[in-house]
């Protein structure tokens, strides 16, 4: 049985970020094992996020925008000046190419190409069993191996699922200065929440993504047909070729997260609850959380963070929003439209990041359709009480 200081299960976005923060901390001499079955040499995703500053991966930010477009379900456009914030993207491949060599250079990180079969807390340490039969132990195991659950009837389990293509036109077509962050002006089939986003890299190249917040997935042919319909009929894109495509499913759920399931095991990334239940954004939430966990490790020797009940109010807000989506109480594109129209986009971003204050939250709540959200709030609170007392 081989012993490490830290074992990181899964070398994707959160696992690699965790290792990166560790080798750049006072814990840099720790022995780290990363267990990951993939090579991580493909551009398998692009992370979009907003930020009012810079982040540790600033040097690989692929594109930055100072304003974004938002369209409600009637196709009415709002150009959002996002103030001190910037909307940014990092491409998966750039992230992997940046982080992995830095981990190798550190000399303290071992990369094992395998899958994790089981993780267990042994009392004074944690152990990880791999598919190839080895068992490793560590003071702490960071687990990012999330398994998507498709059916959770007790929870507001909605999926954010999407298919996107990077297109390149022969002639200049896109405005590279302004992405369409969310365009709900597409057919809302089955009353589901459906939208397009366009991230223009330059005048000829853009990522166009067809996205749904709903309970079940489409077939690949259906995503392709909707994308093609939008590109041809709405966007009227001239001659183009597809350079890349991506497909993803992100959980939007208020299922209670066990970020710290035991003393020596910590879940990170989507597995640790860093996916915003109301939007699916995960990148920035994960970065902020991991930096706090590493700071806590440096300070106390333990990774566990405490959050008080007041901070948890943001989870309640997310539950209410998920209830509105799941019960189809009001078109969510129009909810966001009204919120962006009556509040500064920066306030919305702070709210969605769980960093707003109560006055901003009251102002945002007042700009939602009160009756529909009131019913959703009653439903959510009633369900939570039922959970507590049964
Ligand atoms: C296509 C796509 C686009 C996205 N776009 C955005 C976006 O624009 N903005 C945003 O904020 N979020 C976005 N997300 C959501 C989220 O940021 C990503 O899913 C992100 O990669 C989550 O990080 P993670 O570390 O939790 O999971 P991953 O990055 O998926 O890493 C998990 C790793 O664990 C490995 N693994 C799985 N099982 C095992 C096992 N048994 N043993 C060992 N290793 C295992 C996997 O191979 C993988 O490398 C997107 C997701 C997808 C799929």
Task: Mark whether 199 and 334 lie in a shared domain.
Answer: no
Residue nearest to atom 5 of ligand 1 (CA): 47
Is residue 152 very low, low, confident or very high in pLDDT (cuts 50, 70, 90)?
A: low
Task: Mark whether 142 and 41 lie in a shared domain.
Answer: yes
User: Is the minimum distance from the CB of 269 to ligand 1 under 6 angstroms?
Assistant: yes
User: Is the minimum distance from the CB of 179 to ligand 1 under 6 angstroms?
Assistant: no
274-313 tens-digit pLDDT: 999 889 999 999 999 999 999 999 999 999 998 888 888 9
87: in domain: yes
Nearest atom within ligand 1 for CA of residue 116: 42
Mean local confidence (pLDDT), 152-162? 80
Task: Mark whether 260 and 196 lie in a shared domain.
Answer: no
Task: Mark whether 228 and 264 lie in a shared domain.
Answer: no
User: Is the minimum distance from the CB of 49 to ligand 1 under 6 angstroms?
Assistant: yes
Q: Is the pLDDT of residue 1 over 70?
A: no
211: in domain: yes
Nearest atom within ligand 1 for CA of residue 270: 26
322-332 tens-digit pLDDT: 999 999 999 99
Task: Mark whether 94 and 241 lie in a shared domain.
Answer: no
User: Is the minimum distance from the CB of 115 to ligand 1 under 6 angstroms?
Assistant: yes
Q: Is the pLDDT of residue 77 over 70?
A: yes
What pLDDT score does 147 carry? 85
Domain that residue 109 falls in = 2-71+81-150+254-300
User: Is the minimum distance from the CB of 48 to ligand 1 under 6 angstroms?
Assistant: yes
Q: Is the pLDDT of residue 386 over 80?
A: no
User: Is the minimum distance from the CB of 36 to ligand 1 under 6 angstroms?
Assistant: yes
| CATH code at position 236 | 3.30.9.10
- The residues that bridge with 365 in the sheet, in sequence order, are none
In whole angstroms, give the CA distance from residue 244 to residue 166. 5
Task: Mark whether 234 and 124 lie in a shared domain.
Answer: no
Pick the residue with more confidence: 190 or 199? 199
Task: Mark whether 183 and 108 lie in a shared domain.
Answer: no
Q: What is the number of domains present in the chain? A: 3
CB atoms within 10 A of CB 92: 18
255 CA distance to ligand 1 middle (Å)? 18
12 CA distance to ligand 1 middle (Å)? 6
User: Is the minimum distance from the CB of 282 to ligand 1 under 6 angstroms?
Assistant: yes
Mean local confidence (pLDDT), 339-348? 94
User: Is the minimum distance from the CB of 163 to ligand 1 under 6 angstroms?
Assistant: no
Residue nearest to atom 6 of ligand 1 (CA): 47
305: in domain: no
306: in domain: no
CA 306 to the chain's CA centroid? 22
In whole angstroms, give the CA distance from residue 70 to residue 83. 15
In whole angstroms, give the CA distance from residue 257 to residue 244. 33
In whole angstroms, give the CA distance from residue 189 to residue 34. 43
| CATH code at position 37 | 3.50.50.60
Task: Mark whether 35 and 109 lie in a shared domain.
Answer: yes
Question: Which two three-digit tokens encode residue 248?
Answer: 């993803």
Nearest atom within ligand 1 for CA of residue 15: 25
Task: Mark whether 323 and 295 lie in a shared domain.
Answer: no
User: Is the minimum distance from the CB of 35 to ligand 1 under 6 angstroms?
Assistant: yes
3 state SS for the chain: CEEEEEEEECCCHHHHHHHHHHHCCCCCCCCEEEECCCCCCCCCCEEEEEECCCCCCHHHCCEEECEEEEECCCCCEEEEECCCCEEEEEEHHHHHHHHHHHHHHHCCEEEECCCEEEEEECCCCEEEEECCCCEEEEEEEEECCCCCCCCCCCCCCEEEEEEEEEEEECCCCCCCCCCEEEECCCCCHHHCEEEEEEEECCCCEEEEEEEEEECCCCCHHHHHHHHHHHHHHHCCCCCEEEEEEEEEEEEECCCCCCCCCECCEEECHHHHCCCCCCCCCCHHHHHHHHHHHHHHHHHHCCCCCCCCCCCCHHHHHHHHHHHHHHCCCCCHHHHHHHHHHHCCHHHHHHHHCCCCCHHHHHHHHHCCCHHHHHHHHHHHHHHHHHHHHC
What pLDDT score does 254 carry? 83
Is residue 108 very low, low, confident or very high in pLDDT (cuts 50, 70, 90)?
A: very high
Q: Is the pLDDT of residue 387 over 80?
A: no
Task: Mark whether 117 and 234 lie in a shared domain.
Answer: no
User: Is the minimum distance from the CB of 250 to ligand 1 under 6 angstroms?
Assistant: yes
49: in domain: yes
184 CA distance to ligand 1 middle (Å)? 25
217: in domain: yes
């Amino acid at each position: 049985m081989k012993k490490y200081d830290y074992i990181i299960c899964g070398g994707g976005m959160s696992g690699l970020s965790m290792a990166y923060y560790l080798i750049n901390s006072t814990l840099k001499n720790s022995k780290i094992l990363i267990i990951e079955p993939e090579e991580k040499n493909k551009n398998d995703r692009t992370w979009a996020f907003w930020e009012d500053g810079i982040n540790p991966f600033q040097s690989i930010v692929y594109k930055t925008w100072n304003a974004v477009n938002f369209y409600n379900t009637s196709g009415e456009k709002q150009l959002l000046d996002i103030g001190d914030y910037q909307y940014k993207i990092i491409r998966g491949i750039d992230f992997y190419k940046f982080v992995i060599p830095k981990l190798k250079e550190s000399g303290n990180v071992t990369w094992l190409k395998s899958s994790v079969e089981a993780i267990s807390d042994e009392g004074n340490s944690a152990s990880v069993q791999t598919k190839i039969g080895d068992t490793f132990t560590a003071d702490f195991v960071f687990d990012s191996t999330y398994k998507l659950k498709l059916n959770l009837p007790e929870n507001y389990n909605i999926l954010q699922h999407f298919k996107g293509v990077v297109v390149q036109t022969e002639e200049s077509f896109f405005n590279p200065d302004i992405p369409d962050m969310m365009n709900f002006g597409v057919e809302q089939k089955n009353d589901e929440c459906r939208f397009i986003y366009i991230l223009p890299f330059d005048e000829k190249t853009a990522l166009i993504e067809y996205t749904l917040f709903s309970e079940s997935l489409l077939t690949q042919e259906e995503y392709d047909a909707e994308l093609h319909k939008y590109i041809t009929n709405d966007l009227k894109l001239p001659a183009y070729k597809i350079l890349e495509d991506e497909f993803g499913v992100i959980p939007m759920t208020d299922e209670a997260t066990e970020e710290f399931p035991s003393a020596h095991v910590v879940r990170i990334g989507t597995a640790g609850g860093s996916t915003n239940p109301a939007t699916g954004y995960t990148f920035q939430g994960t970065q902020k959380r991991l930096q706090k966990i590493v700071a806590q490790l440096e300070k106390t020797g333990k990774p566990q963070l405490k959050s008080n009940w007041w901070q948890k109010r943001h989870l309640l807000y997310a539950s209410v929003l998920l209830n509105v989506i799941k019960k189809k109480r009001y078109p969510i594109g129009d909810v966001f439209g009204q919120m962006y129209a009556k509040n500064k986009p920066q306030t919305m971003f702070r709210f969605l990041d769980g960093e707003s204050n109560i006055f901003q939250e009251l102002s945002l709540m007042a700009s939602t359709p009160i009756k529909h959200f009131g019913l959703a709030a009653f439903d959510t609170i009633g369900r939570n009480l039922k959970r507590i007392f049964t």
